[in-house]
Amino acid sequence: MTKEQFITENYAIYNSDCMEVVKEMPDNSIDLSVYSPPFAGLYNYSSSERDFSNCESREQFLEMYSFLIEQMARITKPGRINAVHATDIHNNTGRLWDFPAEVIKIHEKYGFEYHNRITIWKEPLKVRMRTMVQSLMHKFIVEDATKCFPAMPDYVLIFKKKGENKIPVTHLNGLMDYPYFGEVPFLEAHKETYGNYNDFRKKWIAFKGDPRENKLSHLTWQRYASSVWDDVRIDNVLPFKDSKQEDDEKHVHPLQLDVIDRVVYLYSNEGEVVLTPFAGVGSEVFSPVSMNRKAIGIELKESYYNQMVENMKDANTRFAHYKQTELF
């Protein structure tokens, strides 16, 4: 049952159980989905019995998740992309459970093709400070290095629904419409050839010739096409502090906008519909709306939904300064 909803010309957001909302959506109506599901009870986000994170076991979570993916397969247009943010999960003994493998199995069961796994690099010290995982503690290097293991990355799993994509996703001028989504100094390795990044960008941003000659677009694609995204800005997230509640575990970690922006930009056209069934504080709604797409976001937890409402107020003006600067 939907508690609240906020619907505009460009987006619709719901304070509701995602299963209740998606089952009412028409077949083949979604152009792209991008989201981060609850990691099988790794964190508990609320006390609601409808919350995917409150499952009694991993098996129960996977059963519930399967119901959702069956619906996602129904509502996604043929040939279109679902991008799922996931990670390996530690159990109580420190061993890893290959959660991404389970996500892949379920998608393939319901008619998606598994195409790619993008690794999102994470700085080890920041991971240690945020998670307090013991395997990253330096003291074990001194005492017993067999207890030490590298910081776990995140992954974006790219799935494509079987069938022909009837409307190609095009970038007729290359990847030129928005600023680079990530740490800007990616040209350091090419500095002798291309010089300062800002000067290089000014030279090519107004280019209207053959896209094969557009060096800015080519270099941007080389970075986005990497199997390891090592330049994602870890703190580039939407505000979330006001969404915490006293009676719930406090694990609000929005997915970085750099990750979402790249997926939305690469795999959807302007005006198309992007869905996130686990909207959180609205990152996967904010990003597509800021890039002239339409979006649908569903969030069960009321405090997250309220934060999403606030965050969406800035979506339409996000790139206004950039567009004005490039125009002149």
Q: What is the C-alpha to C-alpha distance for residues 152 and 124, in angstroms, rounded to an integer?
A: 8
Task: Give the predicted TM-score (pTM) of the model.
Answer: 0.90
**Per-residue tokens: 285:** 């709604």
**Per-residue tokens: 52:** 């995917």
Q: Which residue has the tokens 């990530």?
A: 182
Nearest in space to 11 (alpha carbons), one of 322, 319, 311, 323:
311
Nearest in space to 215 (alpha carbons), one of 203, 224, 226:
203
Q: What is the C-alpha to C-alpha distance for residues 101 and 120, in angstroms, rounded to an integer?
A: 17
CB 77 within 8 Å of CB 165: yes
**Which run of H or E residues covers position 276?**
strand 273-276
Q: What is the C-alpha to C-alpha distance for residues 286 and 267, in angstroms, rounded to an integer?
A: 16
Helices 257-267 & 283-290 angle (0-180, nearest 10):
50
Q: What is the C-alpha to C-alpha distance for residues 163 and 159, in angstroms, rounded to an integer?
A: 12
- Condensed to tens digits (0 to 9), the pLDDT of residues 69-78 reads 999 999 999 9
- Condensed to tens digits (0 to 9), the pLDDT of residues 221-236 reads 989 999 999 999 988 9
Q: What is the C-alpha to C-alpha distance for residues 141 and 12, in angstroms, rounded to an integer?
A: 50
Res. 30: pLDDT tops 50: yes
Res. 216: pLDDT tops 90: no
Helices (H), 225-279: 257-267
Q: What is the C-alpha to C-alpha distance for residues 286 and 250, in angstroms, rounded to an integer?
A: 22
195: region left, alpha or beta (phi > 0 left; psi from -120 to 50 alpha):
left
Kindly calculate the radius of gyration of the chain based on its CA atoms and give it in whole angstroms. 20
Res. 297: pLDDT tops 80: yes
The pLDDT value recorded for residue 247 is: 47
**Per-residue tokens: 173:** 């001028």
**Per-residue tokens: 192:** 């002798």
**Per-residue tokens: 168:** 């190609």
**Which run of H or E residues covers position 60?**
helix 58-75
Q: How far is CA 94 from the centre of its chain?
A: 26
Which domains occur in the chain, in start order?
4-171+229-327 (3.40.50.150)
Which one-letter amino acid corresponds to residue 92? N
219: region left, alpha or beta (phi > 0 left; psi from -120 to 50 alpha):
alpha
Which range is least confidently modeled, 135-139, 167-171, 204-208?
A: 204-208
Check residue 323 and report its DSSP letter. Answer: H
Q: What is the C-alpha to C-alpha distance for residues 93 and 134, in angstroms, rounded to an integer?
A: 11
Which range is least confidently modeled, 43-47, 56-60, 99-103, 234-238?
A: 43-47
Q: What is the C-alpha to C-alpha distance for residues 51 and 60, in angstroms, rounded to an integer?
A: 12
Collapse the DSSP code of 199 into the 3-class scheme (helix H, G, I; strand E, B; otherwise coil) and give the result. Answer: helix
Mean pLDDT throughout 183-208?
A: 75
Which one-letter amino acid corresponds to residue 154? D
Which range is least confidently modeled, 70-74, 116-120, 205-209, 287-291?
A: 205-209
